Every structure is written in C-alpha cells, then in structure tokens.
C-alpha cells in the first residue's frame, strides 16, 4: 500500500504546469498492484468509482494530463526548429484554427524583426505551396482580414529615427478613428491599418505616448472592446506589458490550455531581453507552478546568455 506521503508526492507531481517525471518514476518503479490501487484511490481527480463500483479514470482529467506530459516535447521542438519553419508552422496552425487563434498571427507579425518575418514568409512558400498573405486573404472573411494581411506583409524600417510631429499627427488620426467611428469597425479603417502596419516600432512607441498625452488614456484602454487590434498595439508598442499578461495568465491556478501554450510559445520563440526581465518578476510563480523537465527547459532558455 502506498503511504500518504507517496500519494501526496504523486499528486504534487501531477499538479501545475508540466509534470515532475523524477518523482513519478521514483514511486512507480517500486509499485505492485496493491500499491498502484492505493495510489489511484488517493488521486481522486484522476480516478473514481462509478455507480457499479467499477474503478475508472476521469476522461477530462486524463486529457488535461496528456497535455501536461506533451508540454516538454512542444517546448523542445519549438526551441530546436529553424525559426523560419517554426513561425511558418505556427502561422499555418493558427490560421486553420480560426478566429480564436488569430492573436498568434498578431504576436508573430508584431514581435519579429523585418528579416525574421520575411524568413517566415519564405518558409511558408516552401512548406505549404502558397504565401501566408494568399492563405489569409482567402480564408479570413471578417473584419480582421485587412489588418492581418497587412501585418504579415510588413517590412518595417528598424532604425531609431522618429519624427515627433508625424507621430503627433498620427496619434490624432488614431484618436479620431477610435473616438468618432464604430469601435468594432476601427480595425478596417485605412488610416489605422496604414499606421500600425507600416511604421517602425520606435515610431509607434512615440505615437503611443503622443496618443496618451492627447487623450488622457492609452490606445489600449480605448480599444478594450476591439481585442485583436488592442493586442496588435500591445505587441508593437508595449511588448513588456504583453509578455507580462501572457506569464500572468499562464501561471494562474485556473489557467486554460491556450494560456499555457502561449507561455511555451513565448519562451521558446522570444529572444528579447525584455522577456527575461518579465520572467524574473514571475520567478516565484514559476518555481511554484511549473514542474519537471518542462520547467528545466523554460528556466534554462530564459537564463541563457546570447553568444
């Protein structure tokens, strides 16, 4: 029979994000039938007795557990793949999943350099025999199409030069489009799409600051009901706030699968020092919530120095 401490260790190994493989192995290698039976009885979230006193697993819980075992594989593959192939495959999968995954397209288009995004577009040609722009334009039917096609097509200037007068003028244009029109249609506004998809990131950060001076609120606050556009602005203008939001959502006790996948994707694909600064703020939560080999990879990737 398993001791209460073993059952506790077993339950702890299966809680949180990822699994503690070493703890599971240390218990299972010495298990026999009665030992395993007592472990099952102690893991009521995974196993239960039905109305016929037949012992069976909880299908929903087992499905979630399979995802936790798979998490290590996912972070390893995303970390090892060529960045162009990785991003092309992420873009393709998000497009196939539909509107609930369009935020991933925004994340990739807005957090990559111009050359990285161009590389992903080239990889898309080789992998899927069509361009990402073509695939987007033919499959996205809603108001998101214009913005998404323009974002993935962008090749932004990456120098530091910013014209304050132009930034102020464009901040006013954004404010007028957001305040005067139907907020749900602002994503199709030509001037909004032009500014967000053609301007450099330093320029857009200045636009963001000018907007706040003029409006008294940030663009993100004014776009609360236009989620995809809000996320676009967040990724382009305040990436650290975006990273913080992803970490916070993923490390909550009730985090859903999409939030956990976002953490894997972000850590495996982001190279900016800002993500390490954000991760440092969540160090205690990572220690508490993340388990096993998955944790080792996350912590190792976040800690590594560029060579």
> What mean pLDDT do residues 229-238 have?
95
> What mean pLDDT do residues 89-113 have?
96
* pLDDT reported for residue 14: 84
Start-end of H helices in the chain: 4-13, 21-28, 33-42, 59-80, 83-97, 102-111, 114-128, 132-139, 144-153, 164-180, 190-198, 201-215, 219-222, 227-237, 239-250, 257-269, 273-281, 283-289, 292-303
Question: Is 16 annotated in some ligand binding site?
Answer: yes
The DSSP letter of residue 26 is H
* pLDDT reported for residue 75: 95
> What mean pLDDT do residues 276-284 have?
93
Q: Evaluate if residue 138 carries a pLDDT over 60.
A: yes
Q: Evaluate if residue 305 carries a pLDDT over 60.
A: yes
Kindly report the pTM of this predicted structure. 0.90
Say if CB 84 and CB 123 are below 8 A apart. Answer: yes
Question: Is 158 annotated in some ligand binding site?
Answer: no
Say if CB 275 and CB 266 are below 8 A apart. Answer: yes
What percentage of the chain reaches a pLDDT higher than 90? 69
* pLDDT reported for residue 111: 96
The CATH fold of domain 79-237 = Annexin V; domain 1 (1.10.220)
Confidence of residue 306 (pLDDT cuts 50, 70, 90): low
Confidence of residue 28 (pLDDT cuts 50, 70, 90): confident
The DSSP letter of residue 170 is H
Q: Parse the chain into domains and list their residue ranges.
A: 4-57, 79-237, 242-303
CA-wise closest residue to 40 among 54, 23, 57: 57
pLDDT digits (tens, 9 = 90+) for 146-175: 999 999 999 999 999 999 999 999 999 999
Burial readout 36-73 (b: 16 or more C-beta within 10 A, e: otherwise): eebbbebbeebbeeeeeeeeeeeeebeeebeebeebbe
Confidence of residue 2 (pLDDT cuts 50, 70, 90): low
The residues, ordered by sequence, that sit 6+ positions from 201 with a Cβ below 8 Å of its Cβ are: 156, 158, 236, 237
Helix (H) or strand (E) holding 81: none
Least-confidence region, from 40-49, 83-92, 94-103, 104-113: 40-49
Q: Evaluate if residue 42 carries a pLDDT over 90.
A: no
**Alpha-carbon torsion (109, 112, 116, 118), positive or negative:** positive
Output the six-digit token pair for 12. Answer: 């702890």
* pLDDT reported for residue 307: 46
Question: Is 181 annotated in some ligand binding site?
Answer: no
* pLDDT reported for residue 183: 67
């Amino acid at each position: 029979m398993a001791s209460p401490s073993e059952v506790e260790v077993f339950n702890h190994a299966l809680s949180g994000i990822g699994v503690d493989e070493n703890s599971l192995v240390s218990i299972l290698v010495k298990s026999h039938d009665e030992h395993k039976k007592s472990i099952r009885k102690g893991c009521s979230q995974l196993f239960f007795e039905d109305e016929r006193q037949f012992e069976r697993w909880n299908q929903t819980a087992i499905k979630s557990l399979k995802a936790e075992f798979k998490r290590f594989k996912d972070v390893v593959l995303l970390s090892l793949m060529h960045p162009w192939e990785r991003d092309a495959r992420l873009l393709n999968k998000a497009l196939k999943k539909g509107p609930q995954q369009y935020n991933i397209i925004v994340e990739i288009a807005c957090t990559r350099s111009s050359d990285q995004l161009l590389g992903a577009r080239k990889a898309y040609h080789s992998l899927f025999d069509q361009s990402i722009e073509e695939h987007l334009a033919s499959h996205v039917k809603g108001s998101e199409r214009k913005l998404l096609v323009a974002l993935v097509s962008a090749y932004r200037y990456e120098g530091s030069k910013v014209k304050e007068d132009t930034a102020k003028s464009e901040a006013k244009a954004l404010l007028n489009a957001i305040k005067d029109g139907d907020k749900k249609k602002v994503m199709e506004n030509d001037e909004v799409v032009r500014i967000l998809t053609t301007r450099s990131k330093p320029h857009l950060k200045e636009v963001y600051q000018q907007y706040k001076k003029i409006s008294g609120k940030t663009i993100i606050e004014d776009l609360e009901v236009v989620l995809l556009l809000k996320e676009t602005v967040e990724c382009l203008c305040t990436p650290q706030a975006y990273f913080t939001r992803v970490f916070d959502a993923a490390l909550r006790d009730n985090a859903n699968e999409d939030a956990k996948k976002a953490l894997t994707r972000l850590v495996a694909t982001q190279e900016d020092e800002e993500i390490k600064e954000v991760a440092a703020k969540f160090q205690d939560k990572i220690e508490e919530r993340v388990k096993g080999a998955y944790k080792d990879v996350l912590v190792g990737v976040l800690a590594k120095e560029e060579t």
